[in-house]
Each structure stands twice: as structure tokens, then as C-alpha cells.
Amino acid sequence: MTARISLDTVNDLPDAAFTEQFAGIYEQSPWVAQGAAAARPFSSVTALAAAMAAVVAAADGDRQRDLLRAHPDLAGRAALRGELTPSSQSEQAAAGLDSLTPDEMERFQRANRDYRDRFGFPFILAVRHWGKSHILAAYEGRLGNSLAAERAHALAEVDKIAFSRLLALVVPAATGRLTTHVLDTARGCPAAGLPVTLERIRGGTAAVIRQDRTNADGRLDAPLLEGAEMEPGLWCLQFAAGDYFLASGQPLTAPSFLDLVPVRFAIANPERHYHVPLLLSPWSYSTYRGS
């Protein structure tokens, strides 16, 4: 990855340079960057992305259709010929689409054809974080949509691809953080003294990043991640529920139904607050994106 530029730099670029810098954020559609230039300054990548998405949303239907049509097929002719834009090339490779078996290749061709026949534009999906089998399932699911619903869906995917491309170019604002909170729903109180481990998951391997223990309010004294530590991608919180239950003297079976409770989740927007709480009893738990 080349060095990313700062938001200050983004805000200081002349309009033409801004447009050039972000010309490829929306596939082959520099008009989107051009339209967003005047909305500067931006205090976050999120705001920059929102301004570009607003340009697309305000465009007329024909222009939106053209934008959709500017996207290459997944594992399609342009990919085979090496004619993808660098962004598309890297995204398709991340999803393993550059190493398909002949059988998979044929399934993709057929899916692309069916989708185009039905909707008149190529199948678009922010594929970077998915594997090929998931993506094939996605075609099938979306073929069932109405044209109106599917256009909305495709445009939303385009916005997600754009956001992820922006993150590769611009250093995000340091506003993000990851926090947690554990409540004991059997006893109606914070789960105090519960060991929590944060792991980063890459390629199926988990690396321990931080270990801590909940305080009297069931929270950690500091965020698990902050600012530049908020890397987009897969994470896992391991809650040592068994230790907590033992220490709190709750009746358990042997072995207890719950012991280590893993919660795997992804950070998509590093500028946001991700609050990932756990509502816990010896026989049940809930987790959710909180605030």
C-alpha cells in the first residue's frame, strides 16, 4: 500500500487535483469526485464518502445506470484480459476471483449472464471480504429482487466499494474506538471481574491484542482500540464467562453450559464507535452493535 494522504491534504487540494485524486473511487466515473469537491472541507473519510454518495444519489436515473454499467463483471471478460482498473483488480483478487477452477469460472459466467439479462447492468458486490462461494450465493439471492429494489441494492454496493477505496487513499480521522460492557441478566447487575481478550483475525489465525477484566460497572477502564488501532477487518472478543460464573457463585452444571464466549465481528468504518456488549446468563447470551 502506498502512503495514504491526510484529510488536511485532501481539503487543501485544488479542485482539479481533488478530482484527479479520487477519479477512480467510483468506477470510471470522475464526475462523482468532481461533484463532491465543493463540499470540502471534510473532517472525516466518512464525510468525504457521504459527499460523494450524495452526488450519485442526486444524479439522474440514466447517469446512475451508466455508473452501474461501468463496473466490470466479477471474474468476467475484462478480468480475463487483464483490463480491470487497479482497484477492481485488487478487490477481485482479495476475494479469490483470480484463481477459479474451470467449473467455478463457468458458474460465474452463467451467473453474470443471468443477472445482466434480468436487470440490464452487471452484478456488483463489495467482494473484498467475501469468498467465492459466498459471492455465488449472493447472485442467487439478488436475482429474486425486483428491479427497483435491486437498483437500490447495487447503488448501495457501489457506495461501499467507494468507501473502502477511500480508506486505502486517505488516513481516517482518529475518532473511532472499540468498547464493551458485560451485564449479568440472571442477577440483574454488571458482570464485574470478567476477563476479556481481544483478538485480531487474519487469514483464519487469531492474534491476541489485549487482555483486560471488566470493572465494577461491567466495562473496561479504557477502550479496547482507539484511533489508528481501529483497523477495518475481523476481530474477536473472548469473554471468559465461566470464570465469572464461578467467582460469582452462580449454580452451574458440570461442565457449565457456557464457558468461553467468543464474539467475532468486523470493523468496517474505523472512524466510528463500535460498542460490542454482552448480555450474559449461565444459559444464554446476546450481543449487538451498540452505541
Interacting positions 107-166 with its own copies (CB under 8 A): 125-126, 128-130, 133-135, 137-138, 140-142, 144-149, 151-153, 155-156, 160-161, 163-164
φ/ψ (deg, to 5) at 254: -125, 110
Residues 6+ apart with CB under 8 A from 57: 155
Should residue 16 be labelled a site residue for its own copies when binding is judged by CB under 8 A?
no
Instruction: Decide whether 222 or 266 has the Cβ nearer to its own copies.
Output: 266
Sheet of 278-281: strand order equals 189-190, 182-184, 278-281
Instruction: Decide whether 41 or 120 has the Cβ nearer to its own copies.
Output: 120
Q: Exposed/middle/buried for 205, CB within 10 Å: 0-12, 13-18, 19+?
A: exposed
Site string for its own copies, 181-210 (x = CB under 8 A): x-xxxxxxxx--x-----------------
Should residue 248 be labelled a site residue for its own copies when binding is judged by CB under 8 A?
yes
Instruction: Decide whether 69 or 128 has the Cβ nearer to its own copies.
Output: 128
Compute the least distance from the CB of residue 150 to its own copies, in Å. 8
For residues 281 and 183, the answer to whether their CB atoms sit within 8 Å is: no
Compute the least distance from the CB of residue 86 to its own copies, in Å. 18
Distance CA 225, CA 163 (A): 21
φ/ψ (deg, to 5) at 108: -65, -45
Here the cell at position 209 is 491484542
Compute the least distance from the CB of residue 224 to its own copies, in Å. 16
Instruction: Decide whether 13 or 136 has the Cβ nearer to its own copies.
Output: 136
Half-sphere exposure of 4 (CA within 13 A, CB side): 15
Site for its own copies in 208-247 (CB under 8 A): 217-218, 232-234, 242-243, 246-247
Quick one: CA dihedral 81, 82, 87, 93, positive or negative?
A: positive
Site for its own copies in 43-82 (CB under 8 A): 57, 61, 64
Instruction: Decide whether 102 or 204 has the Cβ nearer to its own copies.
Output: 204
